[in-house]
Amino acid sequence: MLPPLSLRTRRVVGCRQPGPCPSPAMAAMLEQRAALSRRHLKNPMQTRIDRRFQELARQGRAALLTFVMAGDPDLAASLAILKALPKAGADVIELGMPFTDPMADGPPVQAAGLRALAAGTTLAKTLKLVAEFREADRATPLVLMGYYNPVYVYGVERFLREAKAAGVDGLIIVDLPPEEDAELCLPALEAGLNFIRLATPTTDDARLPAVLAHTSGFLYYVSITGITGAAAPQIAKVASAVMRIKTKTTLPVAVGFGVKNAESAAAIATHADGVVVGSALVEALRQSLDRSGRATDKSVEAVTSLVASIAKGVRAAAAAPA
């Protein structure tokens, strides 16, 4: 990877730091990326994600964001689930890009990724899945969530071009820190995609500005320290964290990791702009599979019935008196 953007930019200007000066071609590329950063901050884009959060804010309720793994347990079943999520109550869909070595996923999501890979799911097939979903649904925001390695191997320019064409609205790339924004974040913004960053309980006020710098669409607040689905969030701590973050940004804040049912979703929805549920959905899907791990006639309903229940919890929080 290239060194952090801030360091690379300082080296271009006068080349005062130790080490070799960049070539003219490299200097031109760095200046172009720095200009892109300035341009984005001056003229932020409007996306399906932005419009959905604005619409729900006018309704006075939080968004329900649902995570499922692309190709789990196979591409046909995965597409059926995707198509059914909005009617079940999903406001935004997060679609996992299966990867062999995840760093933040708990056992249910890891298992979902392995099932998808075993079924032959690739990044190209994931993008095709999005395109097929978009044939019938042009309104629901869809975010790809995963890790940088598959994107890097696929090729950043090709990935962004095909993702945009397929109908992807945003990206969550768990293992790319702000120091590496030039790798994917800034090119994604240039391509018209939101780049959604994660904040955690350990993201203090010194670190938060870097996390927020190029984040768009919404900020994903990880409610626990640990992997997905590992523990239940402590609502008082989540409320305090969300309040602190919202003093630093006008972005919607969505809270995930540990949301399992309507009750926990409703509790978070009273404090956040969005509630993310993932591990509970992929586990519900797993329990619907046959002994060979294949989809059954109960698989779609297993996911959508849980989504519908959690959606009622989110909407109940909006209806409850303050």
Share of the chain above pLDDT 70, in %: 82
What is the per-residue pLDDT for 223? 82
**Residue 41 belongs to some domain of the structure:** no
**Which residues are catalytically annotated?**
94, 105
Q: Which residue has the higher pLDDT, 26 or 221?
A: 221
**Residue 221 belongs to some domain of the structure:** yes
**Per-residue pLDDT for 320 more than 70?**
no
**Per-residue pLDDT for 229 more than 50?**
no
**Residue 21 belongs to some domain of the structure:** no
pLDDT tens figures, 46-81:
899 999 999 999 999 999 999 999 999 999 999 999
Closest CA to 270 of 232, 308, 222, 236: 236
What's the mean pLDDT in 257-263? 89
User: Domain containing 147 — which CATH number?
Assistant: 3.20.20.70
**Residue 10 belongs to some domain of the structure:** no
Confidence of residue 228 (pLDDT cuts 50, 70, 90): very low
> Picking from 21-25, 47-51, 107-111, 185-189, which range would have the lowest pLDDT averaged per residue?
21-25
What is the per-residue pLDDT for 105? 84
> How many distinct structural domains can be found in the chain?
1
What rounded mean pLDDT belongs to the chain? 87
**Per-residue pLDDT for 8 more than 50?**
no
pLDDT tens figures, 126-162:
999 999 999 999 999 999 999 999 999 999 999 999 9
**Residue 302 belongs to some domain of the structure:** yes
**Per-residue pLDDT for 236 more than 80?**
yes
Domain enclosing residue 315, as ranges: 62-319
**Residue 146 belongs to some domain of the structure:** yes
**Residue 170 belongs to some domain of the structure:** yes
**Residue 115 belongs to some domain of the structure:** yes
What is the per-residue pLDDT for 54? 97
> Picking from 52-66, 162-176, 219-233, 259-273, which range would have the lowest pLDDT averaged per residue?
219-233
What's the mean pLDDT in 23-52? 63
pTM for the full predicted model? 0.85
What is the per-residue pLDDT for 258? 81
